Every structure is written in C-alpha cells, then in structure tokens.
Amino acid sequence: SGGCQAEVGTAAAMAAGALVDLRGGGPEQIGHAVAMALKNLMGLVCDPVAGLVEVPCVKRNVIGAVNAVSAADMAPAGIESRVPVDQVIDCMGDVGRRLPVELRETALGGLAATPFGQSVKAKREERRSQEQEL
C-alpha cells in the first residue's frame, strides 16, 4: 500500500540495522543506518509488470541489499542521518499514502503500463483464459 519504498525500503532498513547490531554497533548507530537506508529508497514506486514480482522487483531487492550494506557501513563510520529515524519512518508512511494508487502494487502504472508491460499482461491473461477452457 506504500509502494516499493515500504517493501524494499523497509527490508533494507531492517537489514541495515541488523548488520550494524551484528557488527557491535549501538542503538544510535542502528537508528542512523535504518534512517539512511529508508531515505535512499524514499518514493520508490511499486509497478510490477503483469502483477508479477519478476520485473522489476527482483532487481530492486538487490539494490535494497546493497543499500543496506552501504548504510550499515556508513553509520559505524560516523556518518549520521540528519533527520531522526522516527521522522524518516513517519515521512515514508506519508509519502506512501500520497503515491497515486497506480504506483502502489496495482500493476496499473510505471513499468507495468509500458508497451512491454502491457504485452506481458495480455499474454498472461491469454494463458489463463486457455487454461480455464480446459
């Protein structure tokens, strides 16, 4: 309901916080890592082609993992989020609610609405129709 920022972003933030913790960082560093990971993916839309998670979601998860490691490296190095983690989390919720419904996992906008996305959707619907006839 909040776009990929709420899915990939939240997963990346949790991973960043966990990595900092596993490396012996304290609560303040964990908060900075979480905030940085979330901010890096703020506003990311959810636009799965034909409603499937293969395009572009699988690759976005890789970006989320790289983002998590980067944020987990930055926080213990002394890089801090200027915006407090609680405010970043609240902001992400606000941004997610403001995203148009077409960009919130409906497969109606973004990459799903491209000619390629529409052709994949049509082929998928055709296969489903043929299966139902059997």
Task: Give yes or no for a contact between 104 and 46, defined as CB atoms under 8 angstroms apart.
Answer: yes
Q: Which of 31, 43, 33, 40 is nearest to 2 (CA)?
A: 43
Q: Give me the residue spans of the domains in the chain.
A: 4-133
User: Which pLDDT tens digit goes with each residue over 19-41?
Assistant: 999 999 999 999 999 999 999 99
pLDDT digits (tens, 9 = 90+) for 59-104: 999 999 999 999 999 999 999 999 999 999 999 999 999 999 999 9
Highest mean pLDDT among 2-6, 49-53, 64-68, 104-108: 64-68
* Residue 42: pLDDT over 90: yes
Phi/psi of residue 104, each to 5°? -125, 65
- Model confidence, pTM: 0.90
What is the full DSSP assignment across 30-97? HHHHHHHHHHHTTT--B--GGG-TTTTHHHHHHHHHHHHHHHHHHGGGT---SS-HHHHHHHHHHHHH
